[in-house]
Chain A
Amino acid sequence: MILALRWLWRDWRGGELRLLALAVVVAVAAVTSVSWLAERVGAATEARAADLLAADRAVERPEPIPDGWLRRARSEHGLATARTAEFPSVVVAGERTQLVSVKAVTPGYPLRGELRVSDGLDGAERATTKTPAPGSVWVAPRLLRLLGLSVGDRLALGQGEFRIAGVITLEPDRGSFFNSLAPRVLMPYADLEGTGLIGPGSRVRYKLLVAGTPAAAAAFTDALVAEQGNAVEIETPEGQGRGIGEVVDRARRFLGLGALLTVVVAGVAVLLTVRHYAERQVLAVAVMRAVGARRRRLTTLFVARLFWLALFAGAVGAALGFVVHAGMLSLVADLIDRDIPPPGWRPLVVGWLTAAAALFGFALPTLLRLRDVPPMRVLRREAAAGLLRAGVPVAVAAVVVFALMGWQAGEWRLAAYVIAALAVAVGLLAVAARASIAAVRALVRRRGGRLLWLSGFTRRPWTAVVQIVGVGTGLMALFLLAVVRNDLLDAWRDRIPDDAANQFLINIQADERVGVRERLAQAGIDAAFAPMVRGRLVALNGDPVAEAEDVPADDDVGRRRGRREFNLTWSAEPQQGNEVVAGEWWGAAGDPGELSVETGFAERYGIALGDRLTFDIAGRRVSARVTSLREVDWESFRVNFFVVASPGTLDGLPATWLTSFHLPDTREGVIVDIIRDYPSVTAIDVTSILRTVRSIMDQGSSVVELMSLLTLAAGVLVLLAALQITGEQRRFEGALLRALGASGRRVRRLARYEFWLLGGVAGLIAGGVATGAGVFVAEGLFGLEYPFRPLTLVVGAAVGVITVWAAGGLAARRYQRSSPMRLLREGAD
């Protein structure tokens, strides 16, 4: 083992293993960075399930929790209790408004988990058992940044004025991971009334949190369900963990597969470098065998050397991965409103496993062939010819790749899909590379000696293909993420007409309708209002819809139908952009008792034309028959409903109104005015939400871009490995050219042209394949018109040229320097 270590050091010193080690380092960095990122983000979001609920159980209902329930929970079941009310609203600070998610809490909240606050954006956080004092709120850091506020400033929430008294750094029941669209405002429950934010029909989720022993909590909620039935919804810690876990898990798998792409590309570099290394080791092995080394001894030496290399390269790669993960984390940190736990050691192990897999999977099979070097090689060069065939090593590498994919993806089918997609992309690259080389070759043949510089390209066609594919894979990953993603978003944005609605006002009470309309009219906005009632689907054709708790967890349709509240509206006319595709729309008079259902909705919930739906709306049962099915253009940004009733069907039920319109930038003040006068109205600014969505996507994809930079690095290593293999040949050619009278400058220029061509072709093809993928995704999956941009190809080629030129030029320098004399001296071995 020690001897192997010493020899490893000699190899390293001699520069033999640097590329190999670098390739392993890049592969390990890719895997460990993702591993650390996933582990820490995962741990941050998967905090104990009970914490996510801030209670052992929660009872939710659309009306305030009666005091009697609290008393019962406390006295009959010995539970601790707290009340919360959560709803979207808009805060006003000066002339600026921001959609927020308000949560009003009673003292005692949270019953489980930890609430942490700090005194300012940069302040130290501390755990607290208090809740905001009357007249004050605690807010998410993002709200301060969005509105340019700091702790101590005041903001208006409805009719109430509040002092910002703290910054929330950790909220246990934050809700979903991507719930960052509307920043949190935490306020005292007792101040709720004074804000006037809550009117009939407001979308408020009232919750009663209970905690004690799990059995007592369950007994209480079971009793409540027995009594209240569908009118309450019970949340359990198990139910909370599931959704978030899935998001994180999916992201982890996606990034993990991205990391594996890097591993695969780096693996190709390993295959190439180790082959070169092995070729150079053949003679050494022959000498060692001649002086009496047994085969086992040599095998052990090689295996041990790889072991040490894996250990060192794994450690260095993990260190690099740590740095990369820190970079990724800082990119997404403000999406995670939670404490990020300290890094663990497990990714280190993963890194070492990756290093071992790369070296033993990609390198060992080739090195093991060295066992069979005949000692006669020391006397006869030909004795070891054809020893290092690539067949077995490549087969072993393929198996290793598949195993790694399966491990990262967590399932074999996904692994197979990814490998197939990878194979198609790489295959496309290879075919295109081969074709362009054939074209160049034809050109050379036609134009003869003047294109001398192209000859290297055509003389080593397969090496060139490998180089193009290696660099091209890295560039392709980069372009897909950096360019095509943007194009896709642009294409989507272009589809939205300029005058599409960008503002929604919801929660308008019936008696506020006239006033709001007037305000809008004064600002030159003519807006249509639609009524809205909320109801729960309780029966389909008279059959009761299953209770949520009775539905098996994997029966998605059943779950949704049982749990969800829907928004219903009524209307005499079909809304703009709606098309009746089955049945018939009711006449102008419109008999009560008819429903029109959106097709997608009907499909999901198993509703057919003629079905009788029964809704529970504010405790009243309303039944109606489905007389038409509609298709809706959801991208119109108009107000649309899944279920529309004929006029009269929903009479006498509590309804609020909503409207949407296009608000020119210059009129934003009108929103502030409306919210001041009608505090319970909630304004939703679609433009700013879209901006937020985009910035979240940007953050997410810059993480992936970092990853694709690693892929590109691996691609460059493939290039260098291929250069190394052809190095001897280049050296020979360079010396030959100079012996024939070419100046050193000329030789270097020829090499430079070759690199330009190589990089240009790789970049061009990568740009082409990435664009093709963009077109496929845009037109095939989203029905968008993808803007073909020749610039992508030009930029792609340019990036390819620069990358290859820089990397290859540096590496190839020493091959060109060789003097013609060497040619004569090194004739022999």
Chain B
Amino acid sequence: MTANPDGCVLVAEGLGMRFRSPEGTITLFSDVNLNIRHGEAVAVLGASGSGKSTLLGLLAGLDQPSEGRVLLDGHDLSRLGEDDRAAVRAGRVGFVFQAFHLLPGMTALENVMLPGELAGSGGVRGRAADALERVGLTGRASHYPAQLSGGEQQRVALARAFVDDPRVLFADEPTGNLDRHTGEHIIDAMFALNRDNGTTLVLVTHDPALAGRCGRIIHVEETGLREEVAA
């Protein structure tokens, strides 16, 4: 374990990603350096296919970079195998996805219980119920995802993401499948989390409204990362 530079929960050093393809090697990005402090809200913007999701995945330790390293809460992910990275993620990170990714066979409550059940921790049901209450879905606990609207599904996903009070919440276009009004609700909920629990937010988005509320805005471009200087 390496100590992170003062208060940084997420550090990327010399991060690069390349793929082999039939047309030769494609470099998506290289030499990306990034420090994200605890409690910050960071928006990642970029054209479709620019590599935002890939970057998010690397920061969350879902994948290994071609070069460079990522320190998540002081753990050097590049030195760890799949399972050890999973252990680092457990209880530390939460995810919200564009397509919600709720498990269709489970009720809303059971979906929220999932991380706790996997970790084998106690009191899972109570914490999940609390989380659902915080997103205003207590009455929907026993509904299946198919019985919920898109906004409700995303709120369940949000509850699942923060039920174990993660250090970092990663969101990949969380409002991409929602109408504007519903999207606002989700955004409000996430920032409430950021404010109340000090949860670090890393959000990939197309939504200028969402980006506008973040303290930092990073553009993924062909030339590399470009950070907008906050107004």
Q: Which residues of the partner chain A approach B56 to less than 8 Å between Cβ atoms?
A: 379
| Closest beta carbon of chain B to A625's beta carbon, Å | 86
With beta carbons under 8 angstroms apart, the residue of A10, A283, A294, A380 that contacts B110 is: A10
- A13 to B104 CA separation, bound complex (whole angstroms): 11
Beyond A294-B86, A375-B86, is A829–B119 a contact (Cβ under 8 Å)? no
- Are B53 and A292 in contact, CB atoms less than 8 angstroms apart? no
- Are B57 and A379 in contact, CB atoms less than 8 angstroms apart? yes
Q: Does A288 touch B at the CB level, under 8 Å?
A: yes
Kindly identify, within residues 1 to 37 of chain A, every residue whose CB is under 8 Å from any CB belonging to chain B. Answer: 3, 6, 10-11, 13-14, 16
Kindly identify, within residues 101 to 160 of chain B, every residue whose CB is under 8 Å from any CB belonging to chain A. Answer: 101, 103-106, 110, 114-115, 117-120, 144, 160
Q: Is the interface of A mostly helix, strand, loop or mixed?
A: helix
- Are A291 and B90 in contact, CB atoms less than 8 angstroms apart? yes
| Closest beta carbon of chain B to A291's beta carbon, Å | 4
- A293 to B115 CA separation, bound complex (whole angstroms): 8
Q: Which residues of the partner chain B approach A14 to less than 8 Å between Cβ atoms?
A: 104-106, 144
Q: Which residues of the partner chain A approach B53 to less than 8 Å between Cβ atoms?
A: 379-380
Interface flags, B23-55, vs A, CB<8A=1, else 0: 000000000000000000000000000000110
Q: Which residues of the partner chain A approach B95 to less than 8 Å between Cβ atoms?
A: 287, 290-291, 378
Interface flags, A242-282, vs B, CB<8A=1, else 0: 00000000000000000000000000000000000000100
| Closest beta carbon of chain A to B193's beta carbon, Å | 16
- A292 to B121 CA separation, bound complex (whole angstroms): 13
- Are B86 and A10 in contact, CB atoms less than 8 angstroms apart? no
| Closest beta carbon of chain B to A116's beta carbon, Å | 57
The 3 nearest A-B residue pairs measured at CB: A292-B90, A14-B105, A829-B99
Interface flags, B161-172, vs A, CB<8A=1, else 0: 000000000001
- Are A290 and B60 in contact, CB atoms less than 8 angstroms apart? yes
With beta carbons under 8 angstroms apart, the residue of B105, B118, B177 that contacts A292 is: B118
Number of interface residues of A (CB under 8 A): 30
| Closest beta carbon of chain A to B24's beta carbon, Å | 19
- A14 to B115 CA separation, bound complex (whole angstroms): 20
- Are B114 and A288 in contact, CB atoms less than 8 angstroms apart? yes
**Max chain A C-beta neighbours (<10 A), residue from B56, B89, B101, B120:** B101
Q: Does B87 touch A at the CB level, under 8 Å?
A: yes
Beyond A291-B89, A292-B91, is A378–B101 a contact (Cβ under 8 Å)? yes
| Closest beta carbon of chain B to A7's beta carbon, Å | 8
Beyond A294-B83, A380-B53, is A375–B63 a contact (Cβ under 8 Å)? yes
Beyond A291-B114, A297-B118, is A283–B89 a contact (Cβ under 8 Å)? no
Q: Does B227 touch A at the CB level, under 8 Å?
A: no
Closest B residue to A379 by beta carbon equals B53
- A293 to B82 CA separation, bound complex (whole angstroms): 10
- Are A829 and B101 in contact, CB atoms less than 8 angstroms apart? yes
Q: Which residues of the partner chain B approach A828 to less than 8 Å between Cβ atoms?
A: 98-99, 177
Q: Does A807 touch B at the CB level, under 8 Å?
A: no
Q: Does A112 touch B at the CB level, under 8 Å?
A: no
Number of interface residues of B (CB under 8 A): 38
- A828 to B100 CA separation, bound complex (whole angstroms): 10
Can you show 21 pairs from A to B with CB atoms below 8 A apart?
A6-B117, A10-B106, A14-B144, A16-B105, A287-B95, A291-B89, A291-B95, A292-B88, A292-B89, A292-B92, A292-B115, A292-B119, A293-B90, A295-B82, A297-B118, A374-B62, A375-B63, A375-B82, A376-B57, A379-B172, A380-B54
| Closest beta carbon of chain B to A313's beta carbon, Å | 18
Q: Does A609 touch B at the CB level, under 8 Å?
A: no
- Are A287 and B114 in contact, CB atoms less than 8 angstroms apart? yes
- Are B101 and A287 in contact, CB atoms less than 8 angstroms apart? yes
Q: Does A730 touch B at the CB level, under 8 Å?
A: no
Q: Which residues of the partner chain B approach A10 to less than 8 Å between Cβ atoms?
A: 105-106, 110
- Are B62 and A375 in contact, CB atoms less than 8 angstroms apart? yes
- A296 to B114 CA separation, bound complex (whole angstroms): 17
Beyond A295-B82, A379-B57, is A11–B105 a contact (Cβ under 8 Å)? yes
| Closest beta carbon of chain A to B6's beta carbon, Å | 26
Closest A residue to B94 by beta carbon equals A291
- Are A13 and B105 in contact, CB atoms less than 8 angstroms apart? yes
Q: Does A284 touch B at the CB level, under 8 Å?
A: yes
Closest B residue to A281 by beta carbon equals B103
- A14 to B83 CA separation, bound complex (whole angstroms): 29
Q: Which residues of the partner chain A approach B118 to less than 8 Å between Cβ atoms?
A: 288, 291-293, 297
| Closest beta carbon of chain B to A525's beta carbon, Å | 79
Given contacts A292-B92, A378-B95, list 14 more A-B pairs with CB under 8 A.
Answer: A3-B117, A10-B105, A13-B105, A14-B104, A14-B105, A291-B93, A292-B118, A294-B83, A294-B86, A295-B82, A295-B86, A374-B62, A374-B63, A378-B101
Interface flags, A47-82, vs B, CB<8A=1, else 0: 000000000000000000000000000000000000
Q: Which residues of the partner chain A approach B115 to less than 8 Å between Cβ atoms?
A: 291-292
- A289 to B53 CA separation, bound complex (whole angstroms): 17
| Closest beta carbon of chain B to A13's beta carbon, Å | 7
| Closest beta carbon of chain B to A556's beta carbon, Å | 63
Q: Which residues of the partner chain A approach B62 to less than 8 Å between Cβ atoms?
A: 290, 374-376, 378-379
- Are A293 and B86 in contact, CB atoms less than 8 angstroms apart? yes
Q: Which residues of the partner chain B approach A6 to less than 8 Å between Cβ atoms?
A: 117
Closest B residue to A377 by beta carbon equals B62
Q: Which residues of the partner chain B approach A3 to less than 8 Å between Cβ atoms?
A: 117, 120
| Closest beta carbon of chain A to B14's beta carbon, Å | 21
- Are A294 and B105 in contact, CB atoms less than 8 angstroms apart? no
- A380 to B51 CA separation, bound complex (whole angstroms): 11
- A96 to B53 CA separation, bound complex (whole angstroms): 93
- Are A292 and B87 in contact, CB atoms less than 8 angstroms apart? yes
- Are A289 and B105 in contact, CB atoms less than 8 angstroms apart? no
- Are A379 and B86 in contact, CB atoms less than 8 angstroms apart? no
- A292 to B118 CA separation, bound complex (whole angstroms): 8
Q: Which residues of the partner chain A approach B103 to less than 8 Å between Cβ atoms?
A: 283-284, 287
| Closest beta carbon of chain A to B61's beta carbon, Å | 8
| Closest beta carbon of chain B to A274's beta carbon, Å | 15
- Are B101 and A283 in contact, CB atoms less than 8 angstroms apart? yes
Q: Which residues of the partner chain A approach B114 to less than 8 Å between Cβ atoms?
A: 287-288, 291
- Are A294 and B57 in contact, CB atoms less than 8 angstroms apart? no
Closest B residue to A383 by beta carbon equals B63
Closest A residue to B63 by beta carbon equals A376
- A11 to B144 CA separation, bound complex (whole angstroms): 12
- A13 to B88 CA separation, bound complex (whole angstroms): 33
Q: Which residues of the partner chain A approach B110 to less than 8 Å between Cβ atoms?
A: 10
- Are A289 and B86 in contact, CB atoms less than 8 angstroms apart? yes
| Closest beta carbon of chain B to A3's beta carbon, Å | 6
